[in-house]
Amino acid sequence: MSDNKIIVPFEVKQIEEVNGFFIIKGLASTFGNIDEGNEIVVNGAFDSSLIKIRQNALHIEELPGRRKLLPVLWVHRLTEPIGAFTEIQATSEGLAVEAVFPKSDTFVMGRVIPQVKVRSVAHMSIGFRRVKTSFNTADETVMLEVLDLLEISLTPLAENTQAVIQEFKSKKEETMTKELPLAEKEAVWKPEEALARVKEFTKAEDAPNADYAKAFLYADSEDLEDYDSYKFQFADIVDGQMKAIPDGVMSAAAQFHANKEINAEFVKNEIVCYYKKLGLASPFIKRMCFRVDNIESLVDTDVRCLEKLIKQGFVLPGKSAKTLISKVKNSSMRDADEAKTDDRDEDLSRPQFDALTKLMGSFKDYDGDSSSSND
C-alpha cells in the first residue's frame, strides 16, 4: 500500500476497557532518531498529512466522541484490520496516538492484547509516501522532512531502537523493564574473573539460577541448567552488587552482532538501553560504508585518510578482517623501543596501528559476509 515503511517502537502509556473496546494510548514514533535504514523523521514531517486525515475522519457509533482516523493494521495486511486510530497527534517526541481495539474480535482478545502485555509486539510500522527529503552529508543520513502518512501497523519487528515499550499499565497490573545498575566507565572488564565472582555471589557454583542469569543478555530456555546456555555476559560484582560493566556491554554487543544463530530482538533492545545510559548511540545503526577487499592496501595509506575512512565506516570481508586482527595483535606485542627500529616491513607503523585499532569497533557485515567467512 505504501511507498515506504519505517518501523518504530511503540511505548504504551495506558490501556483501558470502555464499552467493549480496549483503548491504548502511547507513542508511535520517535522524531530525530536514526533508524537502521539510516533515516531520520524530522519533527513536523506528518503535520500536513494529519490535517487531511482529520478532515476525512469517520464517527464510531459505539464510542461517542471518537472518530476513526486510520485503521490499525496487522503487519501491513490490508485484509487484517485489528482496530482504529482515534487520535494521532505530533509531539516533541513523536506521534502520540490513541487506538481502539474491539474485544469482540477473537484475534485481538486472544493474540494482540496478550502479546502487547508481554512486549513481544512492541513496535509500529508506519507506511508513508515521501514528499520532501534531504541528505545530511556530515553523518550520511536521510532527513525525512515532509511525509504523507498512509497507514500504521502493529508489528513485532523493529528498525528504530531508540525507545522500546517501557511501561504497560492497566487497572490490575503494572510491569516495567529491569536493568542492572551501571558501573563506572573505568571499570576493568575481565570476563573469566567476572564469571567466577558472579557464580560465587549468586551461589551458582553447582548450577545456574535466576540471579546468575542476570549477568547475561540471553539464555536458551530449553536447557537453563547448562552453563553454556547463557550467552553475552556483561556483568560483574562491584562493591557487593551485580553491575553492568561498560566494556562488558560493548563486548556483549559485538558478540551478539557476530552471532548469526541468535536473533532475539529483546537482546538488541537491552544493549541499546545500556548504550543510551552510557551516552552512546545504538551500535546497530547501518551506514554507508567503504568496502576494503585487501587490508594490505591500507598499510601505506596516509593516516588522515585512514581516520576519515574509519569515521565513515569500513566493511571487511573475512580474509581482510583476519589479516587486520593479526596485524593488530602483532603490533600490540611489540615493545615501544622496538617500534622505533627499521624492522617494520611486516607490521604497521605506530600511527597506522593507532588508527586501525579504532577500526576494530566498526566492523560491519557486507551482503551477509561476516569476518568469519572463508573469502
**Residues of the chain scoring pLDDT < 50:** 1-2, 158-178, 335-336, 342-346, 360-375
Residue 375's pLDDT is 40
Nearest 10 degrees: Cα torsion 193, 199, 205, 210: -150
**Mean of the per-residue pLDDT values of the chain:** 75
Q: In this structure, are residues 72 and 154 in contact, taking their beta carbons and an 8 Å threshold?
A: yes
**What distance in Å separates the CA atoms of residue 74 and residue 76, rounded to the nearest whole number?**
6
Per-residue cell: 355: 588508527
Strand spans (E) along 137-188: 141-155, 167-169, 174-176
Residue 111 corresponds to which amino acid?
Answer: R
Domains of the chain: 4-176 (3.20.16), 191-277 (no CATH), 290-362 (no CATH)
Per-residue cell: 155: 508489528
End-to-end CA distance of the chain: 40
pTM, two decimal places: 0.43
- The H-or-E segment that residue 233 falls in is strand 230-233
Residue 241's pLDDT is 94
Nearest 10 degrees: Cα torsion 139, 141, 145, 149: -150
Residue 215's pLDDT is 93
DSSP string, 79-95: EEEEEEEEEEEE-SSSE
Percent of the chain at pLDDT exceeding 70: 67
Quick: pLDDT tens for 222-231: 677 889 989 9
| Counts for the chain of helices (H) and strands (E), in that order | 10, 19
- The H-or-E segment that residue 314 falls in is strand 314-315
